[in-house]
Amino acid sequence: MRYSQLFLPTGREIPSDAEVVSHQLMIRAGMIRKLTSGVYSYLPLGYRVIQKVENIIREEMNRAGAQEVYMPMVQPRELWEESGRWQHYGKELLRFRDRHERDCCLGPTHEEVITDLVRNEIRTYRQLPKNFYQIQTKFRDEIRPRFGVMRCREFGMKDAYSFDMNEAGVDESYRKMYDAYTRIFERCGLTFRAVEADTGSIGGSFSHEFMVIADTGEDALVFCTLCEYAANLEKAEIARPEKEDTSQGEHLPVEAVHTPGMKSIDEVCGFLNMKPEDIVKMIIYSADGVPVAVLVRGDVEINEVKVKNFLGCDLLEKADEEMIYRVTEAPRGYAGAVGINVKIIADYSLLGMSNFVTGANREDYHLINVNVGRDFAVETYADLRFVRDTDCCPRCKGALKFARGIEVGHVFKLGTKYSKTMKATYLDRNGQERFMEMGCYGIGIGRTVAAAIEQHYDENGIVWPVAIAPFQVIITPVNVNDHRIAEISETLYASLLHRGVDTLLDDRDERAGVKFKDADLIGIPLRVTVGQKSLVNGVLEVKMRKTGEVRKMPQEELEHMIVSFIHEGM
Ligand code: ATP
Ligand code: MG
């Protein structure tokens, strides 16, 4: 490609609405432009990178035995009614009506469509297992699109869906996808970890997220420093403590104390001269409309993902003022478990607590010396809070380490969640009808590109890993008006193209300094400079974008060096 013909609007200004480096650099390097909130166009340079990532994904999916298909973006309401997600997916599902007044949505994911396709086409065990994938546009009406293409509303995703006869089959399909993902992200030049994750609105029994480690990541991750355990903070487990006894020591008489205006844990602690560890915090939730009281020790945080999974409900929300009043007969801030008549579940952190403080279900009052068993009953103890750095690994008791990550891929073992609700069955060897076992597997294409930039940049711009660089080499003639310089550049350009090297020839009539700055900004791994000296001794200068290392060599040698550099980088 000739730079003079390439549409590559680079810029020096940092765009004011771009908070993270990848977003800033994608705008400055002329890769993307915003159309409207969370909706972006890819310009030629950006789209080249997208295609490089897609090609790596295709190669690895094909290698793993998955077959490429292409499914529609517009999906009918009826299918989503069948899976139950028309009701439960929430506002991220963009719904609309066509001219015949039929309800439709734009696909945020394709479990319904693929399950429908497979249930109509696959009848017997002889046709299984199968794994179908596509690279296609998704729409999710995110509440807060941000960070450019990292969290946008319309984005490209590779999604794959596996169908197996039994659990051993789906485990094997899952493992193949897990291995394929590992290869894909390695080839893209990313530093990543697969962590145990919650299954969210996709559902299923088990899942891993592939996380690119970066300080700007939206997800908090937990790793064990001794064993292999790694999880999303949302999911990270806490082992049931050995200290089970809640009735230790003497139980003092309950007393109501006046705590005017004291609602938060800090306020109550300060006022009563106590520690958060002495207080039991109670939050009332609405679980599919039914009130449930959740208790944790005052110094830890409730993890709502754990609460939702524990209760097995579809919609978990903090109770509104009206529900709180209905349960406690008091305003928010004074709720406690004594005397209420709803399901009470408690986090393990309550085990071993005695004579603690709670709200009195009366405005401006708290109770002290409250004890489980004597004063109220807990239905179940469970792991309902966030892990902290003082906790230990749930597997081996090793110390934990925290990091932040960007979720670029997610693999789920779905089991029969969709095959049951949508009746995707097959006949087994004995002619018996069985539900298919499913898995689903997603990679965000644009987010992977943004995450790669988060890990590969410096003060001058992007530093692409070779495998996903928009061009592998940029040739920079320092002066295009010197016909001898231009001629050497053209010869090298033609020769590199002939060797299959993705080459950009900067044939613009610009100062060398401007060209160097642009080459650095757009992050091309190798820059070859053709200058006056090349005319004298036939030696060309090549600079590595990543290390800044400069080498000089004749053209023939340079071409070999470039070809081997590219292959090593793949
Ligand atoms: P998140 O938790 O970040 O909202 P998710 O868990 O909803 O993502 P999945 O349903 O697992 O996402 O989708 C598969 C992949 O699609 C994700 O791993 C991510 O790479 C990508 N992805 C999801 N949402 C977005 C988005 N709003 N913008 C860009 N990529 C996205
Ligand atoms: Mg996910």
Predicted pLDDT of residue 567? 87
| Nearest atom (ligand 1) to Cα of 155 | 29
Instruction: Please tell me the distance from the alpha carbon of residue 554 to that of residue 538, in angstroms, as a whole number.
Output: 6
We report the CATH number of the domain holding residue 436 as: 3.30.930.10
Q: 210 CA distance to ligand 2 centroid (A)?
A: 9
Which residue among 89, 110, 447, 448 has the greatest number of ligand 1 atoms within 8 angstroms of its CB, and so is best to mutate?
A: 447
Q: 203 CB under 6 A from ligand 1? A: no
DSSP assigned state of 227: S
Give the ligand with the smallest distance to the CA of 211: 1
Q: 235 CB under 6 A from ligand 1? A: no
Q: 408 CB under 6 A from ligand 1? A: yes
Q: In this structure, are 156 and 263 located in the same domain?
A: no
Q: 442 CB under 6 A from ligand 1? A: yes
Q: In this structure, are 299 and 233 located in the same domain?
A: no
Per DSSP, the chain holds a count of helices (H) and strands (E) of 15, 31
Q: Going by CA atoms, what residue is nearest to atom 30 of ligand 1?
A: 444
Confidence of residue 569 (pLDDT cuts 50, 70, 90): low
Q: 451 CB under 6 A from ligand 1? A: no
Q: 211 CB under 6 A from ligand 1? A: no
pLDDT higher than threshold 70 for residue 244: no
> Which of 440, 422, 415 shows the shortest CA–CA distance to 122?
422
Q: 513 CA distance to ligand 1 centroid (A)?
A: 40
pLDDT higher than threshold 70 for residue 78: yes
Does residue 280 lie in a domain region? yes
- Cβ within 8 Å of residue 474, ≥6 positions away: 3, 503, 504, 505, 506, 519, 524, 526, 527, 528
Q: In this structure, are 215 and 104 located in the same domain?
A: yes
**Mean pLDDT in the chain?**
95
Predicted pLDDT of residue 248? 65
Q: What is the DSSP string of 505-566?
A: E---S--HHHHHHHHHHHT-SEEEEE-HHHHHH-EEEEEETTT--EEEEEHHHHHHHHHHHH
| Average of per-residue pLDDT across 49-66 | 98
Q: Are 530 and 481 in contact (CB under 8 A)?
A: no
The pair of three-digit structure tokens given for residue 396, joined into one six-digit string: 């081996």
Q: 19 CA distance to ligand 1 centroid (A)?
A: 19
Q: Going by CA atoms, what residue is nearest to atom 25 of ligand 1?
A: 151
Instruction: Please tell me the distance from the alpha carbon of residue 236 to that of residue 229, in angstroms, as a whole number.
Output: 9
Q: Going by CA atoms, what residue is nearest to atom 29 of ligand 1?
A: 151
We report the CATH number of the domain holding residue 356 as: 3.90.960.10
Which of 347, 382, 417 is the C-terminal boundary of a domain?
382
Q: 140 CB under 6 A from ligand 1? A: yes
pLDDT higher than threshold 80 for residue 67: yes
Which of 351, 382, 413 is the C-terminal boundary of a domain?
382
Which residue among 139, 407, 408, 448 has the greatest number of ligand 1 atoms within 8 angstroms of its CB, and so is best to mutate?
A: 407
Q: In this structure, are 11 and 113 located in the same domain?
A: yes
Range of the domain at 491: 471-569
- Cβ within 8 Å of residue 100, ≥6 positions away: none
Which of 502-522 are b and which e, b meaning 16 or more Cβ less than 10 Å from the residue's Cβ? bbbbbbbebeeeebbbbbbbb
Q: 449 CB under 6 A from ligand 1? A: no
Q: 444 CA distance to ligand 1 centroid (A)?
A: 6
Does residue 388 lie in a domain region? no
Q: In this structure, are 285 and 140 located in the same domain?
A: no
| Nearest atom (ligand 1) to Cα of 442 | 14
Instruction: Please tell me the distance from the alpha carbon of residue 328 to that of residue 324, in angstroms, as a whole number.
Output: 6
Predicted pLDDT of residue 246? 56
Confidence of residue 7 (pLDDT cuts 50, 70, 90): very high
Predicted pLDDT of residue 150? 97
Which residue among 142, 410, 449 has the greatest number of ligand 1 atoms within 8 angstroms of its CB, and so is best to mutate?
A: 410
Predicted pLDDT of residue 537? 86
| Average of per-residue pLDDT across 227-239 | 94
Q: 409 CB under 6 A from ligand 1? A: yes
Instruction: Read off φ and ψ for residue 427, nearest 5 degrees.
Output: -95, 125
Q: In this structure, are 377 and 418 located in the same domain?
A: no
| Average of per-residue pLDDT across 386-412 | 95
pLDDT higher than threshold 90 for residue 250: no
CB atoms within 10 A of CB 299: 17
Q: In this structure, are 168 and 108 located in the same domain?
A: yes
Confidence of residue 243 (pLDDT cuts 50, 70, 90): low
pLDDT higher than threshold 50 for residue 313: yes
Give the ligand with the smallest distance to the CA of 443: 1
Confidence of residue 538 (pLDDT cuts 50, 70, 90): confident
Give the ligand with the smallest distance to the CA of 407: 1
Total count of domains within the chain: 3
Does residue 340 lie in a domain region? yes
pTM: 0.92
Query: How many percent of the chain have pLDDT more than 90?
Result: 91
DSSP assigned state of 155: E
Does residue 360 lie in a domain region? yes
Q: In this structure, are 11 and 73 located in the same domain?
A: yes
Q: In this structure, are 125 and 171 located in the same domain?
A: yes
Confidence of residue 240 (pLDDT cuts 50, 70, 90): confident
Q: Are 28 and 540 in contact (CB under 8 A)?
A: no
Q: 191 CA distance to ligand 1 centroid (A)?
A: 18
Considering only residues 243 and 355, tell me which one the structure prediction assigns the higher pLDDT. Answer: 355
| Average of per-residue pLDDT across 526-535 | 93
Chain segment 453-487, per-residue pLDDT in tens = 999 999 999 999 999 999 999 999 999 999 999 99
Q: 157 CB under 6 A from ligand 1? A: yes
pLDDT higher than threshold 70 for residue 125: yes
Q: Going by CA atoms, what residue is nearest to atom 26 of ligand 1?
A: 151
Q: Are 116 and 77 in contact (CB under 8 A)?
A: no
Helices (H), ranges, 3-132: 21-28, 44-63, 77-83, 85-88, 111-121
Chain segment 350-387, per-residue pLDDT in tens = 999 999 999 999 999 999 999 999 999 999 999 999 99
> Which of 320, 317, 316 shows the shortest CA–CA distance to 332?
320
> Which of 30, 128, 80 shows the shortest CA–CA distance to 436?
128
Q: 200 CB under 6 A from ligand 1? A: yes
Does residue 547 lie in a domain region? yes
CA 308, 314, 317, 323 dihedral sign is negative
Predicted pLDDT of residue 247? 58
Q: Are 436 and 165 in contact (CB under 8 A)?
A: yes
160 three-state secondary structure: strand
We report the CATH number of the domain holding residue 534 as: 3.40.50.800
Does residue 461 lie in a domain region? no
| Average of per-residue pLDDT across 416-435 | 97
Q: 411 CB under 6 A from ligand 1? A: no
Query: Phi-psi bin for 25: left (phi > 0), alpha (psi -120 to 50), beta?
Result: alpha
CA 464, 469, 470, 475 dihedral sign is positive
Lowest mean pLDDT among 119-123, 332-336, 405-409: 332-336
Q: 335 CB under 6 A from ligand 1? A: no
Q: 359 CB under 6 A from ligand 1? A: no
Q: Going by CA atoms, what residue is nearest to atom 12 of ligand 1?
A: 410
pLDDT higher than threshold 80 for residue 204: no
Q: 139 CA distance to ligand 1 centroid (A)?
A: 11
CB atoms within 10 A of CB 107: 24
Q: In this structure, are 203 and 340 located in the same domain?
A: no
- Provide the angle, in degrees to the nearest 10, between the axes of the packed helices 445-455 and 21-28: 100
Q: In this structure, are 232 and 374 located in the same domain?
A: no
> Which of 358, 296, 288, 285 shows the shortest CA–CA distance to 327?
285
Q: In this structure, are 208 and 74 located in the same domain?
A: yes
Does residue 463 lie in a domain region? no
pLDDT higher than threshold 90 for residue 570: no
Does residue 242 lie in a domain region? no
Q: 207 CA distance to ligand 2 centroid (A)?
A: 9
Instruction: Please tell me the distance from the alpha carbon of residue 82 to that of residue 88, in angstroms, as a whole number.
Output: 12
The pair of three-digit structure tokens given for residue 178, joined into one six-digit string: 């897990």
Which of 14-43 are b and which e, b meaning 16 or more Cβ less than 10 Å from the residue's Cβ? eeeebebbbbbbbbbbbbbebeeebebebb
